[in-house]
Amino acid sequence: MTFEEYLSTPGWMTNHEMEWLADIGERSSRIAEVGCWQGRTTLPIARNTKGLVYAIDTFLGSAEHQEEIAQHPKDWVIGEFMKNMNGLVKALAISEYFCQERLDELTWLAEQAEKCQNTAEIGSWLGSATRAIADNTQGLVFAVDTFKGSPELMERINAHEPDWLYNTFKQNTSDTSNVITCRMTSLEAAHMFRDIPFDLVFIDSAHDYDNVKADILAWRPLVRKGGILSGHDRQWEGVERALKELISNAKVAVGAIWYIEI
């Protein structure tokens, strides 16, 4: 079972329960979690606390897990736990909202990133998805954004000092060595990097029809054969219209993420 499949196990944990754990994390300075498995319940606590989380487990598995554990190498459980802690905690800490869907989306990005050498993220905002990708790949992540914000976010951006968005993104990615911040438009970046074969392109920039269409047309040719072109907020009218016109066979990955294999 993959971590993504584990997270989506029906009936295992509701959004309300995840939010409750997040609230406990926010209000606590020391938390002991007794029994962690692969970290599914550890994540919402760790993401929301400024204190310490004591994750207590033998990582040998309980009786009902032994058949699954026997199919994997020694120390598989603790290996999965450490991978998920290191790979998503910072991404979740940056994310402005937390629910099961967001966790599933970041997990999907992290799993795709493991197979990538070159990734382009079109629209980076504060860097949550950037970290999910960058913390789980040995390759490069080209974070493309004007850092001026899209129309629906201007009121919030204007409430801050100039360059607030750019400076916050840089701070959130300051401890990475594989994020290349590209402060430019999507089309400028696509032209600049036209000779780079990308394993993954993730489009999450302006959501109106014209911009989504332009992004898809500009970046699709840059994805190598066998790579993935994907994007966020598939339910937005502009995104849905552009996909219907240009990529009618786009699939749903998880949550609001669409994708197509090239």
Domain parsing of the chain, residue ranges: 3-94, 105-261
Q: Are 89 and 43 in contact (CB under 8 A)?
A: yes
Q: Give the three-state DSSP class for 219.
A: helix
% the chain with pLDDT above 90? 61
**CA-based radius of gyration for the chain:** 19
Mean pLDDT for 207-232 is 98
pLDDT reading at 217 higher than 90: yes
pLDDT reading at 5 higher than 70: no
State residue 19's pLDDT score.
82
pLDDT band at 86 (very low <50, low <70, confident <90, very high): low
Residue 249 and residue 222: Cα distance in Å, rounded?
A: 19
Kindly state the DSSP code that residue 220 receives in the 8-state scheme.
Answer: G
Q: What is the pLDDT of residues 225-259, one digit of tens each?
A: 999 999 999 999 999 999 999 999 999 999 999 99
Residue 143 and residue 184: Cα distance in Å, rounded?
A: 10
Fold of 105-261: Rossmann fold (3.40.50)
State residue 43's pLDDT score.
77
Kindly state the DSSP code that residue 197 receives in the 8-state scheme.
Answer: P
Tokens for 222, please give them: 């840059």
Residue 57 and residue 33: Cα distance in Å, rounded?
A: 8
Mean pLDDT for 41-54 is 80
Highest mean pLDDT among 3-17, 80-94, 113-127: 113-127
